[in-house]
Structure 1
Amino acid sequence: MLRLGYKASSEQFGPNELIDFGVLAEGHGFDSVWLSDHFQPWMHDGGHAPAALPWLGALGARTSRVIIGTSVLTPTFRYHPAVIAQAFATLAVMYPDRVVLGVGTGEALNEVTLGLEWPEPPERFQRMKEAITLMRELWAGERVTFDGTYYSVKDATVYDRPANGVPIYIGASGPAATRLAGRIADGYITTSGKAASLYEETLLPALADGLEKAGRDAADVDTLMEVKVSYHPDRETALEKTRFWAPLALSPEEKRDVHDPIEMQRLAAELPIERVASRFIVSTDPDEHVEQIGRYVDMGFRHLVFHDPGFDQPEFLDLYARDILPRLRERYGHL
């Protein structure tokens, strides 16, 4: 089944606006609403960074149908995994079958400012893996004692929790974490706008390898693509909308160790608009737009979450509900 979701831009809007957008998305027929958990935004001027946990609770109270979740949260530095296990268990009890915990290995922008040591990728990967193990044990056990390499609990109980735990999706842009998603996760999250070869030759084969190693079927893992789109009848408007999100066009090497939004903003300001827009599907024609989005469906992604970079989100939701969602469902609804 193809699912179509909305990415609420926590780096661009305050919490109250974002709640309104999430409610609008449900009303417009989107299937899910997602929020990234950032301590700091990509841009200092005009940036926002509302906390994801209270926001998800508020959105759940204002909606009745959409899946809500993080894309992504890092349960390994700012938070103890047991605290995240408790928080998401509470959300899942409040909003049954609607809550997803999307996790990732983290970014310097969110952690270094708090005085936390920023380790190399292999350690961040191992921390995420151990955190997932601990959270699942807390959701499954009555009294949990866990003594890991990085985290431990003693005689711990999450008292209010759903019977089957909380679905965990792993966000990844490299093969190791993608392979782990295939082995142990309920879903896999990645982002659009990169070379097709990365998805077709590296990431999706790694996902398949993880599934095979664990003896799992492809249907066991929800494949979520966060699709960056800028759709508008006026091409200049569609192009210029991407400007606020220029940091996304920086290479991993350019931004990996940057922890200050002011510096991130300075680096992004140096980029030409063509490079800024390169991560987005920029289009004025709905059929062309759907055709470009369809590449990800053809690759095997079955949950598309749309991130629009503009400041007029109600206009985006109106246009998408009118022009894009019906076309996608007509074309791919049989999947």
Structure 2
Amino acid sequence: MTRFGYTLMTEQSGPRELVDYAVKAEAAGFDFLVSSDHYSPWLTTQGHSPYAWSVLGAVAYATTNIGLMTYVTCPTMRYHPAVVAQKAATLELLSEGRFTLGVGSGENLNEHVVGEGWPAVHARQDMLVEALEIIRELHSGDLVTYDGQYFRVDSARIWDCPDDGVPIGVAVSGDSSIDGFADLAEHMIAVEPDADLVAKWNSVHPLGGSESGESRKIGQIPISWDPDREAAVARAHEQFRWFGGGWAVNADLPTPAGFAAASQFVRPEDVAESIASGPDLDELAESVRPYLEAGFTDIAVVQVGDEQQDRFVSEVAEPLLEKLRAL
């Protein structure tokens, strides 16, 4: 059965509000929570960007059963992979086994802030391979020394480490990334409902095609619920028009001003065509169908904007989940 998640969108809500939404999302019946991990919002109109790991620590304490996940963190530039390994182990213990470490090769928007530049895509992929190797070794609980092309680790050990380590999901975009990462992560993350990616992952991953579903295929889709459809479309346009740029663009732009410039000619009607908006729950639920048809096992929804977020998780999420599970 497909699992449905709720997105803690750090770019559009403050830290205390995110924890409150997480509690209400669990009560509404979502199967898991995913959190973005950004240093900046995509657009200044979103207006937030608290530290995801602090938020997730609070969420782990405030919730009981719901799964937790980063979607995604970049363990190569803002964070050294040894530090990510420690953070993930701690969060897995705090949540009593509910955390999945979702990782990717990052976006310029967030990673350039440490002043180390922005590598070419092939270098970012190679850096992520080394990072995953380091995280895996450290999650064994053993003393680790690692000397790679991009990273060094000197006599490091995770002292508070889960017995079975931390499950990892990795963002992929094509055959080369799947070939490089499939042996280093349990789960696949993708930003588009691409059936070919799922098929490729299943063909090369040790657990990819297992009937037990141990290897999750995790996607995410924005929706904009509002009792007023025009208000829903306007909010989606104001805060999510960057979404249509595609990952090749979104990964490389360095600032919210850059995203504003790149999306300045996107019209509200363009956004309405790509993001289901308004009060019709059947329409909102139907928008996830491409992910279902592509074979994704887990789909997280993003309710766009903070304006209707509390009402969404308190009143709308439960009936929407009923419709999603009936698809």
TM norm structure 2: 0.91
**Shift in Å, 1:181:** 4.8
What value does the CA root-mean-square deviation take over the aligned residues? 2.1
Instruction: Give yes or no for contact 1:9–1:35 (8 Å, CA) kept in 2.
Output: yes
Q: Distance in 2 between matches of 1:254 and 1:295?
A: 22
Q: Distance in 2 between matches of 1:116 and 1:292?
A: 39
Residue 202 of structure 2 corresponds to residue 208 of structure 1 = yes
Match of 1:294 among 289, 295, 315: 289
**What's the counterpart of residue 306 of structure 1?**
301
Summarize the alignment of residues 243-262 of structure 1 with structure 2, pairs less than 5 Å apart: 243=237, 244-262=239-257
Instruction: Give yes or no for contact 2:107–2:250 (8 Å, CA) kept in 1.
Output: no
1:186 to 1:111, Cα distance in 2 relative to 1, 3 A: same
Normalized per residue, which structure has more helix?
1
1:175 to 1:280, Cα distance in 2 relative to 1, 3 A: farther
Instruction: Give yes or no for contact 1:175–1:203 (8 Å, CA) kept in 2.
Output: yes
Match of 1:321 among 314, 317, 324: 317
Q: Which runs of 5+ in 2 are unaligned?
A: none
Q: Which runs of 5+ in 1 are unaligned?
A: none
Q: Distance in 1 between matches of 2:223 and 2:181?
A: 25
Q: Distance in 2 between matches of 1:223 and 1:317?
A: 24
Report the residue type matching 2:221 in the other structure: V
Q: Distance in 2 between matches of 1:91 and 1:245?
A: 29
Deviations 1:276-326 (A, max 9, x none): 334423354333433332332232111111101132101222344342111
TM norm structure 1: 0.89
Summarize the alignment of residues 111-190 of structure 1 with structure 2, pairs less than 5 Å apart: 111-190=111-190
Instruction: Give yes or no for contact 1:182–1:221 (8 Å, CA) kept in 2.
Output: no
SS of corresponding position for 1:19: helix
Instruction: Give yes or no for contact 2:72–2:103 (8 Å, CA) kept in 1.
Output: yes
Q: Distance in 2 between matches of 1:55 and 1:274?
A: 34
Give every structure 1 segment of 4 or more consecutive aligned residues whose post-TM-superposition deviation is greater than 6 Å.
none
Summarize the alignment of residues 259-298 of structure 1 with structure 2, pairs less than 5 Å apart: 259-282=254-277, 284-298=279-293
Deviations 1:127-185 (A, max 9, x none): 11111111110111421121122112122111100000001111233333244454432
1:32 to 1:315, Cα distance in 2 relative to 1, 3 A: same
**What's the counterpart of residue 223 of structure 1?**
217
Deviations 1:92-125 (A, max 9, x none): 1122211111000011111223211211111101
Q: Distance in 1 between matches of 2:279 and 2:178?
A: 33
Report the residue type matching 1:235 in the other structure: R
1:142 to 1:68, Cα distance in 2 relative to 1, 3 A: same
Q: Distance in 2 between matches of 1:294 and 1:38?
A: 28
Range that drifts further, 231-240 or 53-62:
231-240
Q: Distance in 2 between matches of 1:69 and 1:253?
A: 24
Range that drifts further, 295-304 or 48-57:
295-304
Instruction: Give yes or no for contact 1:39–1:110 (8 Å, CA) kept in 2.
Output: yes
Report the residue type matching 1:325 in the other structure: L
Q: Distance in 1 between matches of 2:207 and 2:38?
A: 35
1:258 to 1:180, Cα distance in 2 relative to 1, 3 A: same
Instruction: Give yes or no for contact 2:133–2:184 (8 Å, CA) kept in 1.
Output: no
Q: Distance in 2 between matches of 1:165 and 1:254?
A: 34
1:118 to 1:187, Cα distance in 2 relative to 1, 3 A: same
Instruction: Give yes or no for contact 2:70–2:101 (8 Å, CA) kept in 1.
Output: yes
Deviations 1:177-213 (A, max 9, x none): 2444544322112234xxx6xx13x4223323332xx
**Shift in Å, 1:46:** 4.2
Summarize the alignment of residues 6-85 of structure 1 with structure 2, pairs less than 5 Å apart: 6-85=6-85
Instruction: Give yes or no for contact 2:129–2:181 (8 Å, CA) kept in 1.
Output: no
Q: Distance in 1 between matches of 2:247 and 2:84?
A: 27
Q: Distance in 2 between matches of 1:261 and 1:290?
A: 30
